[in-house]
Structures are given as structure tokens and as C-alpha cells.
Structure 1
Amino acid sequence: MPAPCTRRSLTWSNAGQLDLVSIWGEEAVQSQLHSSHRNYDTFGQISRYMTERGHDRDTLQCRGKVKELWNIYYKAEEANHHSGAVPMCCQFYEELNAILGGNPNSTVKSTVDTSEAHVPVKSGPSQEEENLDEDVEVDEGPRGRG
């Protein structure tokens, strides 16, 4: 018997993913995500924007999908930096690159507080990944983490 479909396991449509990426890439949202390690409220705001655009997604679904898209993008980027590797791409690559790749021609502008800037380390998580991995400040019952 298949496992029951939970609210967190719903399939995302391409339009829903594009709307999420669009909202995630907004300068104000990026600024909020970069300014706080505890970003549950920001993902709540993203969820509300998704609802306004006709997508019924809760805070944890939005957070999970952003994290999934982030991971897919960076796996493609890492594979592309290996000498002789076959170029890889991922769905919504151009949109994600505008947010995550630091493309100077993108419309998304990332703000960096130089007093807390981190030198990227290949083997460790980036600041954004750490933000996505932070505990969600919500009582989730016996499971604990989100």
C-alpha cells in the first residue's frame, strides 16, 4: 500500500517552481535571507506570495523546494568546474544562476555585509546553505527538525 500523500510531498508544477524562483530572487527577499540565520518568517512570506499567485504552498514546502533547487544548481555548477567534464545544466538554470551565480547581468542584486562575509570552502556549506539548514523555530512535534 502506498504511503499517504502528505502536504509536504505534493508535486510542484513548472509554473509553481518558476513563481517560487521569481519570488525567491526578489531583492527584498534575498536581503532578508542574507540578513538572518533564522529565516522561517521569510519563507512564510514567500508562502504568502505563492498563495497570492494561486499556489497553495506552506512555509516548509517553500523552504524545502528552495533548498532542493539550491542543491541541484550547485551540483550542476560543481560538475561543470571539473576539467573535461560534460557540461551539465539543470531545470531553471538561468533563473537560478541569476540568484545564486552572481551574474552581473542579472536583475537580482545580492547584498553582502562585509563584516560577516565568509570565504567559501569547497568541502563545507555556504552561508546560504547554512541558512537553509537552520532549525525551524516551530513546534513540529516528536520529529524535531524540519
Structure 2
Amino acid sequence: MSRKGMVWTNREVETFLCILGEEDVQRDLDGAARNEKVFQLVSQKLLDAGFEKNTEQCRQKSKKLRADYRKAKDHNNQNGDYRKMWKWFNMMDAIYGHRLQSNRDRHGELHAGIQVTTYRHPSAQLAS
């Protein structure tokens, strides 16, 4: 496949992240040892939105975005004064920023919980 076929437009990435942020997609990704079927669904939802990306392209884009998000998040946690800005940081943070959180209960025991934050695209509010 040519490099050109793998380039994503800003609209494609934004739509992709909105789909990834959907609660059912996150739930399926969390519970899947193999996530091919989940990315087939994501690919179909992208097609429904007018963007043609196959399952593997979706999986690779997800991996790349998560790696870039982790780099930015790690950098910002270590360098408070010199925060790294990244175009997709806020959307990624809405999806992945609070997923794992640790809380101590009233007895002082540590419990790990998963909180999935659903990102709603601003245009979705117009449709409501």
C-alpha cells in the first residue's frame, strides 16, 4: 500500500477519535484480547461517516495516537513549565486520561477502577 493511502486528514482523525471515544467501543476494546473485530466496527463506522480506512489502518492509527499521547502526557508530567502541546491531546485525554484511577476506600485499601470518558464531538450536540 502506498504511503498516500495511509495519510489521514484532520477530519478523519477527529471522526476516528470520536468513534474510539464511544462507550461501547471502549468497553469492547477493554475486554478484547484480540481487537480485530472492534477495529472492523470502527472501520465500518468511519465508512458510514464517509471515510474509507481498513481495519489495519484503524488499528495502526490507534497505536500511533496512543503512543504520541503517552509521550506528551509523560513529558507534561515531568516538565510542568514546558508543556508539550499536541493537536489531538485534549481529545485523547478525554478518552484515555482518566481510564485507570486508584482510590483508597474508607478502610485504606487500594482499589483500581476503570473510568471511561466518552468524548462527544461538538457537532453531535447540534443533532440532539
SS at match of 1:81: helix
Cα offset, 1:84, TM superposition: 5.5
| Post-superposition offset of 1:89 | 2.0
CA contact (8 A) 2:96 2:117 kept: no
Distance 1:33 1:96 in 2: 15
3-state DSSP of counterpart to 1:48: helix
Mapped partners of 1:5, 1:14: distance in 2 = 19
Considering fraction of residues, name the structure with more strand: 2
Structure 1 unpaired stretches of 5+: 110-146
Quick check: 1:40 aligned with 2:47? no
Aligned to 1:72: 68
Contact map agreement 2:98 2:117 (CA 8 A) in 1: no
Q: Kindly, what percent of the aligned residue pairs are identical?
A: 29
Contact 1:25–1:108, Cα closer than 8 Å, also in 2: yes
- Does the C-alpha gap of structure 1 residues 52 and 80 become closer, same or farther in structure 2, counting only changes over 3 Å? same
Moved over 4 A (4+): none
Q: Which string of whole-angstrom CA distances, capped at 9 and with x for unpartnered residues, describes residues 63-90 of structure 1? A: 0001111111110000111145510121
The residue identity in structure 1 corresponding to 2:2 is C
Provide structure 2 residue ranges, at least 5 long, that are not aligned to the other structure: 100-115, 120-128
TM-score by length of 1: 0.64
Higher RCO by CA contacts (8 Å cutoff, separation 6 or greater):
1
Counterpart-to-counterpart distance in 2, 1:49 and 1:10: 18
Provide the aligned length of Structure 1 versus Structure 2. 103
- The CA RMSD over aligned residues, in Å, is 2.2
What is the TM-score normalised by the length of structure 2? 0.73
CA distance in 1, matches of 2:19, 2:59: 12
Query: Helix, strand or coil for the counterpart of 2:78?
Result: coil
